[in-house]
Structure 1
Amino acid sequence: MKRLFTAATVGIATLAAVTFAPVAEATTGPPVVRTAQGAVRGTSGPLGASFQGIPYATAERFAAPRPAASWTGVRDATAPGKVCAQPLGYPIGRPSTDEDCLTVNVATPARHRGRLPVIVWIHGGSMMFGMGDLYGPGRLAAGGAVVVSMNYRLGVTSFLTHPALPESGSLALDDQRAALRWVRDNIRAFGGDPGRVTIMGQSGGGFSVCGHLASPASAGLFQRAIVQSAPCGETGHASRTRAEALADSAPVIAAVGCADRADVAGCLRAVPIERLLAAFGTDREPRPLSGTPALPLPVGEALRTGRFSRVPVLIGVNHDEENGRILGQELATGTPMAREDYEPAVRKAYGSRAAAVLKRYPLGDSAGQTFAAVLTDELWAAPSLDTARTLSRWTPTRMYEFAEQDTPWYAGYPAPSFPVAAQHMAELAYLFDVPLFEKLTPAQSALADRLIGAWVHFAATGETGWPRLRDSRSGWYVQSLTSGAWKRADFTTDHHYRFWS
Structure 2
Amino acid sequence: MRTLLALAVLLTACGTATSTQAAPDPAVVRTDAGTVRGSVSGEHRIFQGIRYATAGRWEPPRPAPAWQGVRDATAPGAMCPQVGSPYAPVRSEDEDCLFLNVTTPAEPAKPGARRPVMVWLHGDGALGAGHYSDARRLAAKGTVVVTINYRLGVFGGFGHPGLADGGTYGLQDQTEALRWVRRNAAAFGGDPGNVTVFGISYGASSIGALLTSPGAKGLFHRAIMQSGETMMDMPAGSMVPGLEALPSFMWRPKAEIAALGEAYARQLGCDSLACLRALPVKKILDVPQIMNVFQVYAYGNRVLPQSPDEALRKGRFHRVPVLAGATRDEHRLFVAMNYDIQGKTPNYPKLVREAFGRKAPDILRKYPVNRYKSPSIAWATVLTDRMWARATHEQNTLLARHVPVYGYEFADREAPMFLPLESGFDWGAYHAGDLPYLFEEKDTPLPPAQRALSDQMIGYWTNFARAGDPNGDGLPTWPRASSGTLALEPGKIRVIDYAARHRLGFWK
Shorter-chain TM-score bucket reads: 0.7 to 0.9
The amino acid of 2:341's aligned partner reads A
**Deviation, structure 1 residue 347:** 2.9
State whether structure 2 residue 300 is matched by structure 1 residue 294.
no
TM-score calculated relative to the size of structure 2 = 0.86
State whether structure 2 residue 37 is matched by structure 1 residue 41.
yes
Listed as ranges, the gaps of 5+ residues in structure 2 are 1-20, 234-247, 472-477
SS at 1:268 equivalent: helix
SS at 1:120 equivalent: strand
| Equivalent in the alignment of 1:195 | 193
**Deviation, structure 1 residue 463:** 0.9
Distance, in Å, in 2 between the alignment partners of 1:250 and 1:415 is 40
Contact 2:60 2:169 in 1 (8 A): yes
| Equivalent in the alignment of 2:492 | 485
Distance, in Å, in 1 between the alignment partners of 2:222 and 2:411 is 24
**Deviation, structure 1 residue 164:** 1.9
The amino acid of 2:325's aligned partner reads G
| Equivalent in the alignment of 1:244 | 256
Contact 2:139 2:145 in 1 (8 A): yes
Contact 2:117 2:144 in 1 (8 A): yes
| Equivalent in the alignment of 1:406 | 414
Distance, in Å, in 1 between the alignment partners of 2:294 and 2:383 is 18
What is the alpha-carbon root mean square deviation over aligned residues? Answer: 2.1
**Deviation, structure 1 residue 328:** 2.6
State whether structure 2 residue 368 is matched by structure 1 residue 368.
no
| Equivalent in the alignment of 1:392 | 400
Aligned counterpart for 2:82 among listed residues 86, 101, 123: 86
Distance, in Å, in 2 between the alignment partners of 1:318 and 1:71 is 44
Distance, in Å, in 2 between the alignment partners of 1:195 and 1:252 is 43
Residues 201-210 or 360-369, more deviating: 360-369
Q: 1:85 to 1:238 in 2, by over 3 A?
A: same
TM-score calculated relative to the size of structure 1 = 0.87
Matches within 5 A, 1:70-219: 70-92=66-88, 94-111=90-107, 112-113=109-110, 114-125=113-124, 127-219=125-217
SS at 1:240 equivalent: strand
**Deviation, structure 1 residue 366:** 2.5
Distance, in Å, in 1 between the alignment partners of 2:481 and 2:45 is 37
SS at 1:214 equivalent: coil
Which string of whole-angstrom CA distances, capped at 9 and with x for unpartnered residues, describes residues 199-219 of structure 1?
111111011101110011100
| Equivalent in the alignment of 1:455 | 461
Distance, in Å, in 1 between the alignment partners of 2:189 and 2:29 is 10
Distance, in Å, in 2 between the alignment partners of 1:167 and 1:100 is 20
Which string of whole-angstrom CA distances, capped at 9 and with x for unpartnered residues, describes residues 31-56 of structure 1?
11111111111112223111000000
SS at 1:140 equivalent: helix
Contact 1:318 1:424 in 2 (8 A): yes
Distance, in Å, in 2 between the alignment partners of 1:343 and 1:72 is 65
**Deviation, structure 1 residue 410:** 3.0
Distance, in Å, in 1 between the alignment partners of 2:490 and 2:22 is 41
Contact 2:340 2:423 in 1 (8 A): no
Matched residue pairs, number? Answer: 462
- Which aligned segments of 4 or more residues in structure 1 are displaced greater than 6 angstroms? none
Matches within 5 A, 1:427-442: 427-435=434-442, 438-442=444-448
| Equivalent in the alignment of 2:480 | 468
**Deviation, structure 1 residue 324:** 1.2
The amino acid of 2:402's aligned partner reads W
Which string of whole-angstrom CA distances, capped at 9 and with x for unpartnered residues, describes residues 148-171 of structure 1?
011111111122212223343200
Contact 2:144 2:188 in 1 (8 A): yes
Contact 1:92 1:134 in 2 (8 A): no
Which of these two proteins has the greater Rg computed from alpha carbons?
A: 2
| Equivalent in the alignment of 2:269 | 257
Distance, in Å, in 1 between the alignment partners of 2:362 and 2:52 is 52
Contact 2:38 2:46 in 1 (8 A): yes
Q: 1:92 to 1:135 in 2, by over 3 A?
A: farther
The share of aligned pairs that are identical, in percent, is 41
**Deviation, structure 1 residue 348:** 3.5
**Deviation, structure 1 residue 265:** 1.9
SS at 2:134 equivalent: coil
State whether structure 2 residue 365 is matched by structure 1 residue 359.
yes
